[in-house]
Structure 1
Amino acid sequence: MSESKGGDLRVILADPLLPDGIETLRAAPGLAVEDHTESDREALRSALEGASALIVRSRTKVTPDLIESADRLRVVGRAGVGVDNIDIPAATRRGIAVLNAPAANTQSTAELAFALLLAAARRITEADASIRAGEWRRKELRGIQLSGKTLGVIGLGRIGAEVVWRARAFGMRVVAHDPFVSADRASDLGVELASLDELLPACHAITLHVPLSEENRGFIGRKELAAMRQGSILVNAARGGLVDEAALAEALGSGHLGAAGLDVFETEPLPADSPLRDAPQLVFSPHLGASTYEAQRQVSRQIAISVRDALVDGDYSAALNAPFEAEDRDGAGPIMDLGYRLGRLLAGLEDAPPSRIDVRYGGPRDGVLGPLAASVAVGFLERRVDPPLNVVNALSIAAERGLEIVRVRTQAVGDYTNYVELSAASGRARGRGRSRGGRGMVVGGALMGSRMEPRIVRVGTFRIETEPRGTCLLIRNRDQPGVIGAVGTVLGEANANIAEYHLARRKGGGQSFGVVRIDEELPAATLRELEDLDGVEEVRQVNFD
Structure 2
Amino acid sequence: MAFKVLITDPISDTGIKILEERGLEVVYQPNYPEVDLSNGVLESIDGWIIRSGTQIEDFHFETAKNLKVVGRAGVGVDNIDIKNATRTGCLVMNVPDGNSISAAEHTVAMMSALSRNIHKGHMTLLGGAWERSGLIGNELQNKTLGVIGLGRIGREVIKRAQSYDMKILGFDPYVNESLFEGSEVELATIEDLYAKSDYITLHVPLVDSTKYMISMKTLKKMKSTARIINVARGGIINENDLAEALNSNIIAGAAIDVFESEPLSKDSALLSSKNILLTPHLGASTYEAKEGVSLKICQQVSDYLLDDKLLNPINLPFASFEDIKTLTPFLNLSEVMGLIQSQIIEEPIKSISIQCFGEVEEGKILSIGVLKGLLGSITDNRINYINAHSVANERGIAVSYSHSSESIAYTNSVKSIVQLQNKEITIEGSVFSDNIFRITNILGFDIDFIPSGHILCIYNKDVPGVVGSVGGVLGRNKINIAEFILSRSSNNNTACSIVKIDDFVDKNVIGHIESIPEVTKVFLLKI
TM-score category of the 2 structures, normalised to the smaller one: 0.5 to 0.7
Matches within 5 A, 1:46-445: 48-49=43-44, 51-58=45-52, 62=56, 67=61, 72-187=66-181, 190-322=184-316, 330-331=333-334, 363-364=357-358, 366=360, 368=362, 371=365, 412=405
CA distance in structure 2 between the aligned counterparts of 1:163 and 1:317, rounded to whole angstroms: 25
CA–CA separation in structure 2 for the residues paired with 1:63 and 1:248: 29
Cα distance, 1:172–1:317 mapped onto 2, change above 3 Å: same
3-state SS of 1:77 partner: strand
Bigger mean CA deviation after superposition, 88-97 or 130-139:
88-97
Which amino acid counterpart does residue 310 of structure 1 have in structure 2? Y
Cross-structure match for 2:5 = 11
Judged with a 3 Å threshold, the aligned counterparts in structure 2 of structure 1 residues 188 and 315 are, in CA distance, closer, same or farther, namely farther
1:27 pairs with 2:21: yes
Are the counterparts in 2 of residues 95 and 323 from structure 1 also a CA contact under 8 Å? no
In 1: Cα distance, 2:289 partner to 2:207 partner: 25
CA deviation after TM superposition for structure 1 residue 281, in Å = 1.6
Aligned partners of 2:103 and 2:153 also within 8 Å: yes
Amino acid aligned to 1:173: K
Return the offset for 1:309. Answer: 1.4
Measure the CA separation in 1 of the matches of 2:166 and 2:367: 38
Distance 2:278 2:209 in 1: 26
SS in 1 for 2:135: coil
Letter matched to residue 151 of structure 1? L
Tell me how far apart the structure 2 counterparts of residues 104 and 138 of structure 1 sit (CA, whole Å). 39
> Structure 2: 5+ residue runs without aligned partners?
319-329, 338-354, 369-384, 387-401, 409-414, 422-527
Matched residues, number: 355
Residues 316 and 323 of structure 1 are in contact (CA less than 8 Å); yes or no, is this contact kept in structure 2?
no
CA change 1:86–1:219 in 2 (3 A) is closer
Whether the aligned pair in 2 keeps the contact of 1:332 and 1:368 (CA below 8 Å) is: no
User: Does the 8 Å contact 1:61/1:85 carry over to 2?
Assistant: yes
Q: State how far apart, in whole Å, the 2-side matches of 1:452 and 1:251 are.
A: 58
For the structure 1 residues 369 and 189, does the alpha-carbon distance in structure 2 shift closer, same or farther, using more than 3 Å as the test?
A: farther
Whether contact under 8 Å (1:45, 1:66) holds in the other structure is: no
Specify the alignment match of 1:41 in structure 2. Answer: 37
Query: 1:177·1:194 contact (CA, 8 Å) conserved in 2?
Result: yes
Which residue identity does 1:213 align to in structure 2? V
TM-score, length basis structure 2:
0.58
Contact kept? 1:97, 1:316, Cα under 8 Å? no
Structure 1 residues 451 and 224, CA, compared in 2 at 3 Å: closer, same or farther?
A: same
Residues 164-205 of structure 1: per-residue CA shift (max 9 Å, x gap) = 111112211101111222321223664110112212222221
Percent identity between the two aligned chains: 37
Give the deviation of 1:321 after TM superposition.
2.5
CA distance in 2 between counterparts of 1:67 and 1:182 reads: 36
Provide Cα deviations, 1:42-101, integer angstroms capped at 9, x if missing partner.
Answer: 33437x53x543334455555566556656544332334344454445544554433222
What is the letter of the counterpart of residue 127 of structure 1? G
* Secondary structure class of the residue paired with 2:280: coil
Does the 8 Å CA contact 1:149/1:173 hold for their aligned counterparts? yes
Question: How many Å apart are 1:19 and its aligned residue?
Answer: 0.4
CA distance in 1, matches of 2:276, 2:108: 15
1:265 match: secondary structure: coil
| Distance change (3 Å), C-alpha of 1:231 and 1:72 | closer
Superposition deviation, residue 18 in structure 1: 1.7
TM-score (norm 1): 0.56
Distance 1:450 1:167, change over 3 A: same
Deviation string, structure 1 residues 354-384 (Cα, Å, up to 9, x no partner) = xxxxxxx97457262795999xxxxxxxxxx
| Counterpart code for 2:36 | D
The 3 A distance-change label for structure 1 pair 12 and 129 is: closer
SS of 1:26's partner is helix
Distance verdict in 2 for CA 1:94–1:282, change over 3 Å? closer
Deviations 1:430-461 (A, max 9, x none): xxxxxxxxxxxxxxxxx9964499xxxxxxxx
| Alignment CA distance shift 1:177-1:451 (3 Å) | same
The answer for unaligned runs of 5 or more in structure 1 is 1-6, 335-360, 375-390, 393-408, 416-446, 454-545
Evaluate the alpha carbon distance shift between residue 283 and residue 55 of structure 1 in structure 2; reply closer, same or farther with a 3 A threshold: closer
